[in-house]
């Protein structure tokens, strides 16, 4: 019998190609993006420390708003009108909280993954981080999920399961794992219109879930880039003493389903954890614990500032404690404060500045509110704030 008359024979000879085709088909159906499988290994050590690049851009919480996410990348000159990477060798750190409060969470994950690969080819780099909302969703805490967010994951699950059925037609492939395995068929007191979306979200995001494993295991929880340390909430001296590399590897191991069960390590849970801490991000500067901040920074050689998201800054990106804490969550998502996109830029040759779409600065975008300041960051407009406006 010829191979044309025996389709299963073809599958046996090229199972990886068939599987890759099905996965790409599912990806495009969910996100509108062709995203070939990443050849990198899940066992690669997650890098924690990076040399200072010529240009570093930090982007705050995105919370399910793809349009605002694109705007943030565009005002920083990182993508063109077709969402292609134009940032060259720029390094980008997105400080977490892609999930919750919006209905395009998966589309943002695919968007960021596509840009990561394009940036690598151009000599740049994009780091994505775990925020408290990533941790919550992996744990199955869906308090801040929207109806559209549930619908998006249900659509993903439908396509993913269809892809698995397609793979079962090929005798050369192992039987795919059922993403719903072990998930209850009913939940007490759950609204009927949320049931399928909740099950799909659990299936996708629980430890070892397909979306968690594919995207969130690549996230850092802490990253040191040159003289800046990045974290979603904040770092205390006790976290640094525990070990930054250790935190990254343990969190990734938990997301991969290797250990830890349903709940994240203790340093990711509670008010003083690395993803929940607000000691340095209170909007009122006098409420920030500058002594604890300086103590923490002093234990990381060569680091002089901590950059964080997590707490919305109504006044825009700003610094406290002599700019040793820089807060970059501007609540840009329409599910939060619908704030105007702003990003932080750090250049090796010219220091720190804010790139904003705020029209208040449009008349003289490169001017300083205080003439004697070159790189200061302020909580309120009267305090030094260097900005560039991008419409």
Report CA-CA distances (Å) from 322 to 293, 317, 330, 343: 11, 14, 20, 19
Cβ(375)–Cβ(353) under 8 Å? yes
Cβ(50)–Cβ(80) under 8 Å? no
Verify whether residue 133 is a known catalytic residue. yes
Q: Give the dihedral sign, CA 143/148/154/157.
A: negative
Report CA-CA distances (Å) from 118 to 91, 125, 155, 165, 383: 12, 9, 27, 31, 38
For the purposes of burial, counting CB atoms within 10 Å of the CB of 337, is it exposed (0-12), middle (13-18) or buried (19 or more)? middle
Q: How far apart are CA 252 and CA 47, in angstroms?
A: 12
Distance of CA 16 to the CA centre of its chain: 29
Burial readout 25-44 (b: 16 or more C-beta within 10 A, e: otherwise): ebbeebbeeebeeeeeeeee
Q: Annotated catalytic residue: which of 63, 133, 239, 310?
A: 133
Residue 28, CB half-sphere, CA atoms under 13 Å: how many?
Answer: 8
Q: How far apart are CA 263 and CA 242, in angstroms?
A: 19
Q: How far apart are CA 245 and CA 355, in angstroms?
A: 31
Catalytic residues: 133
């Amino acid at each position: 019998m010829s191979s044309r008359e025996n389709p299963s024979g073809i599958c046996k000879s090229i199972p990886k190609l068939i599987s890759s085709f099905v996965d790409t088909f599912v990806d495009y159906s969910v996100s509108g993006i062709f995203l070939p499988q990443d050849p990198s290994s899940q066992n690669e050590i997650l890098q924690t420390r990076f040399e200072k690049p010529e240009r570093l851009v930090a982007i705050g919480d995105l919370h399910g708003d793809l349009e605002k996410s694109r705007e943030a990348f565009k005002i920083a000159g990182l993508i063109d009108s077709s969402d292609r990477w134009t940032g060259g060798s720029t390094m980008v750190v997105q400080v977490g909280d892609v999930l919750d409060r919006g209905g395009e969470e998966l589309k943002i994950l695919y968007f960021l993954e596509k840009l990561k690969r394009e940036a690598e080819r151009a000599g740049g780099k994009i780091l994505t981080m775990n925020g408290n909302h990533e941790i919550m969703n992996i744990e199955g805490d869906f308090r801040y999920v929207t109806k559209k967010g549930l619908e998006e994951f249900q659509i993903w699950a439908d396509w993913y399961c269809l892809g698995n059925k397609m793979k079962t037609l090929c005798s050369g492939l192992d039987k795919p794992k059922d993403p719903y395995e072990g998930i209850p068929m009913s939940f007490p007191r759950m609204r009927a219109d949320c049931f399928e979306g909740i099950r799909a979200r659990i299936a996708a995001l629980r430890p070892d879930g397909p979306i968690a494993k594919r995207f969130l295991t690549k996230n850092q929880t802490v990253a040191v880039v040159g003289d800046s340390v990045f974290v979603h909430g904040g770092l205390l001296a006790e976290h640094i003493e525990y070990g930054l590399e250790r935190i990254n590897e343990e969190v990734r191991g938990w997301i991969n389903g290797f250990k830890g069960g349903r709940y994240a390590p203790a340093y990711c849970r509670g008010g003083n954890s690395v993803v929940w801490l607000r000691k340095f991000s209170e909007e009122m500067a006098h409420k920030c614990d500058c002594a604890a901040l300086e103590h923490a920074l002093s234990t990381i050689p060569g680091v002089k500032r901590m950059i964080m998201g997590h707490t919305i800054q109504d006044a825009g990106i700003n610094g406290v404690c002599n700019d040793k804490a820089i807060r970059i969550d501007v609540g840009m998502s329409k599910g939060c404060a619908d704030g105007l996109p702003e990003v932080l830029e750090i250049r090796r040759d010219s220091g720190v500045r804010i790139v904003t779409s705020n029209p208040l600065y449009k008349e003289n975008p490169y001017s300083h509110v205080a003439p004697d300041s070159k790189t200061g960051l302020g909580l309120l407009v009267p305090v030094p704030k260097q900005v560039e406006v991008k419409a």
